[in-house]
Amino acid sequence: QSVLTQPPSVSGAPGQRVTISCTGSSSNIGAGYDVHWYQQLPGTAPKLLISVNSNRPSGVPDRFSGSKSGTSASLAITGLQAEDEADYYCQSFDSSLRGSLYVFGTGTKVTVL
């Protein structure tokens, strides 16, 4: 049901850089709606990681960064650490003839090798 598509999984060794894509369409990301990213550690609630495309809330390490272009967005993790192993979700807003709603991505599991 998710209208934002993410790769199911990405992996990297400690210290490496990984990126997660979030592909939308002209009714959500492409319409100019902001993209936000959440980190969900195993067994816990999601936590806001990146807001308004590229802003880090207080306390979020600067190894996390976000960007948005056209109908897509990306989350990058540089200097990957073991504690970054989690599920990551993008979120935006979708407005079309079908209605308006908050939409989440399909989710990406990050594995630290």
Instruction: Determine which residue in the list 15, 17, 70, 101 makes contact with other proteins, applying CB under 8 A.
Output: 101
Residue 100 CB, nearest approach to other proteins (Å): 7
Element (H, E) at 94: strand 86-96
Q: Which DSSP symbol is given to 5?
A: B
Residue 97 CB, nearest approach to other proteins (Å): 10
* Per-position x/- string for 20-39, each x denoting binding to other proteins as judged by CB under 8 A, each - no binding: -------------xx-x-x-
25 close to 84: Cβ distance less than 8 angstroms: no
Between the alpha carbon of residue 12 and those of residues 89, 105, 110, the distances in Å are 18, 21, 8
Summarize as ranges the residues that interact with other proteins (CB under 8 A): 1-2, 33-34, 36, 38, 44-48, 51-52, 57, 89, 91, 93, 98-107
